[in-house]
């Protein structure tokens, strides 16, 4: 036990150092984004649609799809780099079911992009965490929905706490624990327990307003709003905090007035290699990533999205916020000149 605590302390120290390095890279990324609107800030890429779970609110998985061949994934990463993408986050399905995922992460880092991973955490054994360390992973996020599993979600603290201990002991990358409130969450008070556990283990924590199985928004109850603000108060040290009241408005059932830059600053690349606005708006624009160009980025930067006011996909909002001061959407695309 003494050895485990000592190891955990070393890893916390390493994660703090890593956080400083990543923050410097992120500040450079923000500066570059302010100077030019001609490149994606964040891309989500899917190495496989299959998942080992079947959460009732999720519409982003199946139980049969094979993994995308590694060489195909590497080609997609290379094209994202050619587009000038700053951050690539791998999600799914369950990405850890891809046996050569570390090769994809290494390619992201080799192309000088920040590498992130979103996982349900079930497959995080000690050996796999060490492998993710070697690959150069920088951010990992696990969403934990409840303290005990129920028929809506098996992503519970009871099941995943051992995995969190492994991460606290071994991980050299940043770990964020995301908890949720809203549709399908039977015990909203669980969010506080999960957030406290994350902070106790030295991780950052976030809380989101969850969409239903059709991607729609269910406003929070007064009790859920109270819990939402309590968790937010615990999450001040984490990353991606700048959101102009985005989640707060959703929690209250209010629309957000913002310019969604999906398809431009944010790309969602599905398992078929097509670019979509986001996980909840698959089908638009539906262009193969290999054919995606600066012209597509410029067009989508100026294209308004009717789903934006009640969108729950906070990463799209965060990637878009850097351009909130730029020209309004809906205008004719100007000739290519300037930033």
Mapping DSSP onto H, E and C, the string for 139-162 reads: EEEEECCECCCCCCCCCEHHHHHH
Q: In what order do the strands lie in the sheet with 139-143?
A: 204-210, 174-182, 139-143, 114-119, 87-90, 42-45, 266-269, 274-276, 285-288
Pairing of β 274-276 and β 285-288: antiparallel
Q: What's the whole-number mean pLDDT along residues 99-107?
A: 97
Q: Is the pLDDT of residue 1 over 50?
A: no
* Alpha carbon of residue 123 to chain centroid: 18
Residue-wise pLDDT tens digits, 10-51: 777 777 777 788 788 888 888 888 888 899 999 999 999 999
Q: Check residue 286 and give its pLDDT.
A: 96
Q: What's the whole-number mean pLDDT along residues 64-73?
A: 96
- Positive or negative, the CA dihedral 19, 316, 276, 50 is positive
More confident: 210 or 259: 259
**Annotation: CATH topology of 2-321:** TIM Barrel (3.20.20)
CB atoms inside a 10 Å sphere around CB 133: 16
Residue-wise pLDDT tens digits, 155-206: 999 999 999 999 999 999 999 999 988 766 778 899 999 999 999 999 999 9
Q: What is the pLDDT confidence band of residue 329, given thresholds at 50, 70 and 90?
A: confident
- Residue pair 148/158 in contact by the 8 Å Cβ criterion: yes
Residue-wise pLDDT tens digits, 264-293: 999 999 999 999 999 988 999 999 999 999
- In Å, the largest CA–CA distance within the chain is 65
Q: Check residue 228 and give its pLDDT.
A: 85
Domain range annotation of the chain: 2-321
Q: Cis bond leading into 285, ω under 30°?
A: yes
Nearest C-alpha neighbor of 271 from the set 51, 53, 86: 51
């Amino acid at each position: 036990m003494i050895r485990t605590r000592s190891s955990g302390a070393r890893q916390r120290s390493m994660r703090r150092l890593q956080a400083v390095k990543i923050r410097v890279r992120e500040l450079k990324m923000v500066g570059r984004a302010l100077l030019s609107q001609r490149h994606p800030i964040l891309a989500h890429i899917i190495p496989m649609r299959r998942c080992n779970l079947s959460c009732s609110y999720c519409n982003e998985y199946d139980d049969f799809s094979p993994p995308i061949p590694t060489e195909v994934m590497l080609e997609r990463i290379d094209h994202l780099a050619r587009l000038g993408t700053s951050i690539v986050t791998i999600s799914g399905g369950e990405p850890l079911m891809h046996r050569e995922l570390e090769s994809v992460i290494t390619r992201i880092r080799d192309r000088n992009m920040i590498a992130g991973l979103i996982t349900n955490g079930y497959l995080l054994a000690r050996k796999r965490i060490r492998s993710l360390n070697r690959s150069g992973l920088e951010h990992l996020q696990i969403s934990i929905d409840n303290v005990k599993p129920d028929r809506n979600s098996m992503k519970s603290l009871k099941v995943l706490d051992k995995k969190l201990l492994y991460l606290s002991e071994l991980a050299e990358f940043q770990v964020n624990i995301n908890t949720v409130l809203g549709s399908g969450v039977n015990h909203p008070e669980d969010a506080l327990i999960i957030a406290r556990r994350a902070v106790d283990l030295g991780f950052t924590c976030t809380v989101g307003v969850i969409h239903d199985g059709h991607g729609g928004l269910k406003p929070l109850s007064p009790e859920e709003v109270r819990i939402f603000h309590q968790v937010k108060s615990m999450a001040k040290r984490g990353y991606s905090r700048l959101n102009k009241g985005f989640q707060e408005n959703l929690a209250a059932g209010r629309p957000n007035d913002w310019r969604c830059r999906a398809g431009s600053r944010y790309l969602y690349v599905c398992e078929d290699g097509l670019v979509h606005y986001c996980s909840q708006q698959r089908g638009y624009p539906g262009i193969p990533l290999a054919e995606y160009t600066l012209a597509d980025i410029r067009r989508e930067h100026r294209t308004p999205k009717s789903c934006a006011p009640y969108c729950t996909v906070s990463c799209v909002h965060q990637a878009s916020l850097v351009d909130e001061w730029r020209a309004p959407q809906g205008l004719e695309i100007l000739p290519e000149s300037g930033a």
